[in-house]
Structure 1
Amino acid sequence: MLPTARLPPARPIREIAGLDPRELGPGILESNEPLVLRGLVAAWPMVAAARDSAGAADAYLRRFYRDATVTAMHGTPEIGGRFFYNDDLSGFNFALARLRLDQVLDELARHRDNAQAPAIYVGSTTIDTALPGFRSENDVDLAGRDALASIWIGNRTRIAAHFDLPDNLACIAAGRRRFTLFPPQQLENLYVGPLDFTPAGQAISLVDFLAPDLVRFPRFAQAMEQALSADLEPGDALFIPSMWWHHVQALDSFNVLVNYWWRRSPAYMDTPLNALMHALMTVRDLPPAQRGAWQELFRHYVFEADESTSAHIPEGARHILGPLDADAVRGIRAQLLKRMNR
């Protein structure tokens, strides 16, 4: 068995420097590979405050606080900052609480110099709700993309490898973060946990990246052969394409990340995760021959569909096999709901 010490090191993520955050083009925002964008948001006032000190960064954030309530994750020092399941995966090793944002900032400040601090983390929180006005001084032009801008605040924490459906531009506003990324094809080598019972909404790898158990998870060594990694400083950004797995480690006692999520598909399209859940319910446990037949249907109509798929049907009679728009999808959704509520 391959010992942990001999795991292949992750390769560096490709870097680009000198970009103007007001002029990001499709070569960046539609990339199918991760990109480190060094210094992209170095001119943000938030970044300047963070480079001064954690206290200055804290004070800068509080300028925009307007009695906002957030969901905070809290773990004991024993979890080492790793928000995860409990031992038998029946629950989690942290607690959730609804708190005022200033209370979270107060707690982070109290533990800033504590080497055995509890793990404190505010996950994806809409900036315009929690910190109105922040984006007027700290923002990125995404060329008209309908992006959700969120903020993430915490101390030394570790977020297990997971994927997100939208494309993601992650901007480091305070503290340092280490990202380890894997292409979507590494799914089976990452030993992913339950799909419908997760710490924060997304299925996660069960591998502890700081102490991988290669007896229990031997194929993780193969995943590491395809891993990419980067350490980011305040002012840096990372573009993470849709569906890429990413493990995130915050390295300092006060960390702030601002990210932008957007999809390359129309807003009326459902998340493919709904299709996956429905397929698990309806297809996975069929007899092998039937499952193979459905695999062929999915290949033909979904995964390898092209102009020839419905070319033999008159254009006006193709219905769901023709181009879809918001009205067509609304009709399909109504049919599905009717069938599922029978």
Structure 2
Amino acid sequence: MADAEGAPLAMLPRIPEITVADPGELDAALRSARAPFVVRRLVSEWPLVRAGRNSAKEARDYLVERHRDVPFVVSIGAPDSCGRMFYDDAMAMNFRNVSARLPEVFERIDRGEHSGDTSPIYLASIDVGQFFDGLHEANHVDLGERSCLASIWMGTPTRIAAHNDFPDNLACVAVGRRRFTLFPPDQFRNLYLGPVDNTPAGRAVSMVDFHAPDYAAYPRFRQALEQAQVAELDAGDALYIPSMWWHHVEGLDSFNVLINYWWRETPRWLGQPQDALNHAMMAIRDLPPHEKKHWRDLFDHYVFDNDEAVVAHIPPQARSILAPLTPESAGRIRAFLLRALSR
């Protein structure tokens, strides 16, 4: 795994580390941060972390004891994929998704550890509250008044292509080790993103193989590496990934578990920016250049600039959705869009 000059990506600049004494200090750090940071040993006292330090099998037993007897979605890759959950040569996925009970999944991982089976097994973004009883109560971070989605990620050694997420993210390594390689939001051009509608897990991903970058095909990836930061996390460590930061994630041990928390500081009733982008690609991208210029001006006027001049000539009580949004006015927009898109 090397950068433009042949040095390991693990030798890139490290993500800054901070220390926090209590949930209040963590809350303050999260509220003020605009860049990633690492907190060592933030969750080192979790029972799951302690079980994993004893053995991977003990960690799996701990999870099985608390799982609900429901099907889990499991991704299984090819033995020759080196754990890279990605596309195949035809741009289909190089893994298959199956449904299985958690004990069955872990039994296959047990067998693989003894037989040398290198087929990657990955359970991604499993809702902790829906799929486990008591796991969250015994293993969680106090994030104050934030309304968080807690997810658990489990599996054998895997490589997840660089992608980003709209929510803020606190990722806590519970079992095994993980390496995160992060890039600022503005590096999307230099990461060479793949399709937005045919993706491994719902978000566009970098097409660059970080273990063997093809600089002839992706020359600007060198520029992305100039902005990259890396963190190697042990069990008990945590990483804050701000909204829209690109992250490439590797599970480094034979069995790896991560629990993460997603949240947004903006109200839930606001729309998803990705939906607006997808709609704009359908409605605007292929228009003639002079028409696209007009729509660019309108977007600047109503969305990106959006200053008082936009509404100064309209009586305040008549500004409707041009006024600051409320749950009610956002609902009107949503209803209007649903009617328009269903025609």
**What TM-score, normalized to structure 2?**
0.95
Match of 1:60 in 2: 62
Matched residue, 2:290: 289
User: Does the C-alpha gap of structure 1 residues 21 and 106 become closer, same or farther in structure 2, counting only changes over 3 Å?
Assistant: farther
Is contact 2:163–2:206 with CA below 8 Å preserved after alignment?
A: yes
- The residue matched to 2:268 in structure 1 has which SS? coil
1:135-192 Cα distance to aligned partner (Å, 9 max, x none):
1111111111111011000010010000111111100000000000111100010000
Hey, what does 1:160 align to over in structure 2? 161
Aligned to 2:178: 177
1:66 corresponds to which letter in structure 2? R
Counterpart contact for 1:47–1:235, Cα < 8 Å: yes
Contact (CA 8 Å) 2:15, 2:36: kept in 1 or not?
Answer: yes
Distance 1:22 1:52, change over 3 A: farther
Tell me: CA distance 1:323–1:229, structure 2 relative to 1, closer, same or farther (3 Å). same
- What is the aligned partner in structure 2 of residue 80 from structure 1? 82
* Corresponding residue for residue 336 of structure 1: 337
In structure 2, give the amino acid aligned to 1:94: F
Structure 2 CA distance for aligned equivalents of residues 223 and 255 of structure 1: 27
Q: Which residue of 2 aligns with 1:133?
A: 134
2:52/2:174 contact within 8 Å kept: yes
Whether the 8 Å contact between 2:4 and 2:222 is mirrored in structure 1 is no
What whole-Å deviation, never above 9, does each CA across 1:111-143 have from its counterpart, x for those lacking one? 224555210000001111211111111111111
Deviates more, 1:181-190 or 1:292-301: 292-301
Q: Secondary structure at the match of 1:72?
A: strand
Deviates most, 322-331 or 11-20: 11-20
TM-aligned CA distance change 1:308 to 1:205, over 3 Å: same
- Offset of residue 7 of structure 1: 8.4
CA contact (8 A) 2:42 2:236 kept: yes
Residues in 1 aligned to 2:254 and 2:5: alpha-carbon distance in whole angstroms? 27
Tell me whether 1:98 sits opposite 2:89 in the alignment.
Answer: no
| One-letter amino acid of the counterpart of residue 48, structure 2 | M
Amino acid across the alignment from 2:35: E
* Structure 1 residue 232, shift from structure 2 partner: 0.2
CA distance in 2, matches of 1:19, 1:182: 28
- Give the structure 2 partner of residue 36 of structure 1: 38
Would the aligned equivalents of 1:34 and 1:241 in 2 still touch at CA under 8 Å? yes
2:130 & 2:100 partners in 1: Cα distance?
14
Counterpart in 1 of 2:267? 266
SS of residue paired to 1:285: coil
Q: Any idea what SS the aligned residue of 2:66 has?
A: coil
**How many positions carry a matched residue from both structures?**
340
Of 12, 15, 18, which aligns to 2:14? 12
Once the two structures are TM-superposed, the CA of residue 83 in structure 1 deviates from its matched residue by 0.5
Question: In the alignment, is residue 276 of structure 1 matched against residue 281 of structure 2?
Answer: no
Note the C-alpha offset of 1:23: 5.3
Moved more, 171-180 or 328-337: 328-337
Shift of 1:319: 1.1
Give distance in 2, aligned partners of 1:125 and 1:49: 20
- CA distance in 2 between counterparts of 1:308 and 1:181 reads 39
Does the C-alpha gap of structure 1 residues 333 and 285 become closer, same or farther in structure 2, counting only changes over 3 Å? same
1:208 Cα deviation after fit: 0.4
Cross-structure match for 2:319: 318
Equivalent residue, structure 2, for 1:46: 48
Equivalent AA in structure 2 for residue 57 of structure 1? A
SS at match of 1:311: coil
Question: Helix, strand or coil for the counterpart of 2:236?
Answer: coil
Distance in 2 between residues matched to 1:7 and 1:221, nearest whole Å = 13
SS in 2 for 1:139: coil
Q: Is the 8 A contact 1:23 1:141 kept in 2?
A: no
Corresponding residue for 1:302?
303
Letter in 2 for 1:183: P
Q: What are the Cα deviations for residues 61-90 of structure 1, in whole angstroms up to 9, with x where unaligned?
A: 12202213111000121000000111131x
Looking at structure 2, the residues matched to 281 and 226 of structure 1 have their Cα atoms a distance apart, in angstroms, of 32
Distance 1:224 1:322, change over 3 A: same
Deviation at 1:19, TM superposition (A): 3.7
Alpha-carbon separation, structure 1, partners of 2:7 and 2:46: 40
Query: What fraction of aligned residue pairs are identical, expressed as a percent?
Result: 49
Cα gap change, 1:307/1:106 in structure 2, threshold over 3 Å: closer, same or farther?
Answer: farther
Distance in 1 (CA, whole Å) between partners of 2:239 and 2:309 is 39
Shift of 1:337: 1.8
Q: Which residue type is aligned with residue 117 of structure 1?
A: T
Alpha-carbon distance in structure 1 between the residues aligned to 2:113 and 2:42: 27
RMSD: 1.7
Task: Report if aligned partners of 2:172, 2:260 keep a CA contact under 8 Å in 1.
Answer: yes
